[in-house]
Amino acid sequence: MRSSTKLILLTLSTIAFFFVTESRSTIPSEEEKKELEKLLNHINKPAIKSFQTKHGYILDCIDIQKQLAFDHPLLKNHSIQLKPTYIPKWTSDNNTSQKSSSLPFQQNANISCPLGTVIIKRTTLEDLIKIQHLKTLGFNYRTSKDKRFDITGHHYALAEYYEENFGAMGNINVWDPYVKPDQFSLASISIGGGDKDTLQSISAGWIVSPNLNQHHSGLFIYWTASGYNETGCFNTLCPGFVQVSSKFALGDLANPVSTYDGQQYHLIVSIFQDRVTRDWWFMLRDEPIGYWPRSLFDVNGLANKADRVYWGGEVFSAAKRRTSPIMGSGLFAQAGFKKAAFVNGLKVIDRISRKVTSPPISALIPFANSPNCYNIETKTGDGDWYRYIFYGGPEGCTIK
């Protein structure tokens, strides 16, 4: 019998007591540990096969029908979709970029999940405490058109697109910036819908956070159906996102990553709404990773369309009087290729024509809420570089 999401959310709320400022952790009591272990039993479903990676974490092969997603009450009678009913033709020509290499995830050759299973990164007790801490620190996008979020400690450098659409893609340049405890640095594509009180959004990209994936860049998703209030979850750590891939696990660490004036690597990320089911799919290159069922959202949000897309970076630091971390490569946008971080191949699915198109350069709004610390430039060229951005900046912005 499937467990109640209410129990999971109530238990999650108890973990909030375990976070502390200035990077010192509270030791849970025996009673609190029992609650956490109970929660772990909900999150970590029985594994059919398991593998330990060279980084020390464990990947489990879980029965696709028994994954955590289906503990969500809205997915009680959900029928699993193994792949989208259609895949958008994101590239309209053969002029693909040879300047950087895609998919910097080198799956270990001895990791192979049986048919009918999906690959999930196992959550530990320590992970659970850290992840709830990260959620407590905050993960939300404040854009040039939305003033409601408390963005203390957050810095953004984004290209914003405000037109109704059915999805977007981009090649997200992967770096491995150093961050301190209670900080994160990320790059992503985000799709959003709704107004300031009903904002619903989904994001995918890479993140460096000691609370989530050690001190290395790792694959992540995040979604909310309530403006980051009642709902909000990384990866497969709460019910909702349906994993279908048996090749790539959310939370897996990127390897290799880009280097200054050296080889560049990127993630080919697309998020789009299926024409038939209206589910929102996340694909990494040509691999469907999974989807957010339409039933998770409402008509004021993402049930029928999106009304905004963001490409770019975000950094965060929790502690006051601490300097903010590196965004991207640590260099400003004007440093250019092989030095500054980029997202190229910017595409959207137009809601009216339903065709894949490059957004007009005039429709890409550059937004940096701390332009002296981090900046962004929108640019145009050819092929994958027809619409692209450079963004980023060094550590050193003081959090007041």
Task: Give domain status of residue 357, yes or no.
Answer: yes
Q: Is the dihedral of CA 190, 175, 173, 254 positive or negative?
A: negative
Give every CB contact of residue 39 below 8 A, 6+ residues apart in sequence: 8, 11, 12, 15, 128
Task: Give domain status of residue 333, yes or no.
Answer: yes
Distance of CA 19 to the CA centre of its chain: 22
pLDDT under 50: residue ranges of the chain? 1-25, 92-96, 137-144, 147-149
Per the structure, the complete domain to which residue 341 belongs is given by 5-392
Task: Give domain status of residue 216, yes or no.
Answer: yes
pLDDT tens per residue across span 161-205: 999 999 999 999 999 999 988 889 999 999 999 876 678 999 999
> End-to-end alpha-carbon separation of the chain, Å?
49
Task: Give domain status of residue 163, yes or no.
Answer: yes
- DSSP 3-state percent helix, strand, coil across the chain (nearest 5): 20, 35, 50
Burial class of residue 353 (count of CB atoms within 10 Å of its CB; 0-12, 13-18, 19+): exposed
Task: Give domain status of residue 400, yes or no.
Answer: no
Distance of CA 332 to the CA centre of its chain: 23
SS3 3: coil
Question: How many folded domains does the chain comprise?
Answer: 1
* DSSP sequence for 36-69: HHHHHHHHSPPEEEEEE-TTS-EEEEEEGGGSGG
What is this structure's pTM?
Answer: 0.87
What distance in Å separates the CA atoms of residue 126 and residue 57, rounded to the nearest whole number? Answer: 12
SS3 349: strand
SS3 375: strand
Q: What is the pairing mode between strands 365-368 and 154-161?
A: antiparallel
Task: Give domain status of residue 17, yes or no.
Answer: yes
Task: Give domain status of residue 398, yes or no.
Answer: no
Residues 27, 318, 393, 251, Cα dihedral to 10°? 40
Task: Give domain status of residue 397, yes or no.
Answer: no
Taking Cα atoms as reference points, which of 126, 129, 132, 137 lies closest to residue 324? 137
Q: Give pLDDT, residue 315.
A: 94
